[in-house]
Structure formats: C-alpha cells, structure tokens
Amino acid sequence: MEILKNFGVEWEFFLSQLVNFAILFYLLKRFLYKPILEMLEKRRVEIENGIAEAKRIAEEGKKFDSERDTMFRETKQEAKALLDRAVFESGKIRDQIMKEADEKVKEMMERAAKRAEEERMKMMSEVKDDIRGLAKEMAETILRDHIDPSQEKRYIEKTVK
C-alpha cells in the first residue's frame, strides 16, 4: 500500500472516485445507453424492413413490367388479328359488292338490249307501215293515172275475192 502512496494514490479519494464512476456508469447505462441502444435497434429494424420492402417493391415492379410487356404483346397480337380479320371481311364485302355491281350491269345491259330490240322492232313496224302506206299511195296514184275506170272495177273485184 505504501507503493500506491508513493505513486500518489489515496485510498479514500480512489474509493470515492470509484463509487462516483460506478454511480455515473449505472445512470448512463440506465438512462442514456439503454435508450440509445433501443433506438438504434429500432432504427436497424426499420432499415432492414425498408430494405426488404424495397426488394419486394423491386420484384413486384419487375413482375409488373413483365405482365405489362405480356399484356402489350397480347394486345398487339389481338389488334393485328382484328385488323387482319377486318381486311379479310372488307375484301369479302368488296368482292360481294363487285359481284352485285357486275350482276346489275349485266341486268341493265340486258334490259337496254331488250329495250333497243323492242324499239328497233317498233321502228321497223312503223317503217313498214309507212312504206306500205307510201306504196299504196303510189300504187293508187299510178293506177289512177294508167287504168281506166272499167279496169279499176275488175282489179277491185279481183282483190276482194
């Protein structure tokens, strides 16, 4: 103990400082160190949860992106199929319209030809009637000039029989 005294250590002072240090250590541990550790632990848990949540969100984002891409491709394929079907249907409709138009043209041509033939026949009939009338008039004129009344009577009787 004397060695300690030679170094300037006093037991009473050393013991009082040791008690003060123990009290300070206990107070710091109880009111400061424990709450700080609890706060740090909560913060660590929150950070871990945040990281896990970010990973989950990133995975969901990737899943969403792949679903979106799949839906986009499917929608694009459906649109292409609809367009192809519309083109096909429009082609069928166009062909049907063209067929109907051809039939109507043929029908109109046939009617026009029939009307033209009827008109020609009518005109031929009128021309024949006109020619007959003219021939009759010419014959009457010629006969009146060249036939005497006695011969005229004989021709009329012959024609009537």
pLDDT number for residue 81:
94
At 94 the three-state DSSP class reads helix
pLDDT number for residue 14:
80
SS (H, E, C) 101-134: HHHHHHHHHHHHHHHHHHHHHHHHHHHHHHHHHH
d(CA 25, CA 155): 169
Annotated domain spans of the chain: 2-160
pLDDT number for residue 134:
75
Q: What is the pLDDT along the chain (161 residues), one digit of tens a residue?
A: 567 677 777 778 888 989 999 999 999 888 888 888 899 999 999 999 999 999 999 999 999 999 999 999 999 999 999 999 999 999 999 999 999 999 999 999 999 999 999 999 999 888 888 877 777 777 777 666 666 666 666 666 666 55
Burial of residue 54 (CB within 10 Å: 0-12, 13-18, 19+) is exposed
Which tokens sit at 52? 């896990």
List, as one string, the DSSP characters of 34-45. HHHHHHHHHHHH
Give whole-number Cα distances, 83 to 58, 79, 86, 110, in Å: 37, 6, 5, 40
pLDDT number for residue 116:
94
pLDDT number for residue 137:
75
Which tokens sit at 127? 């021309």
* pTM as predicted: 0.40
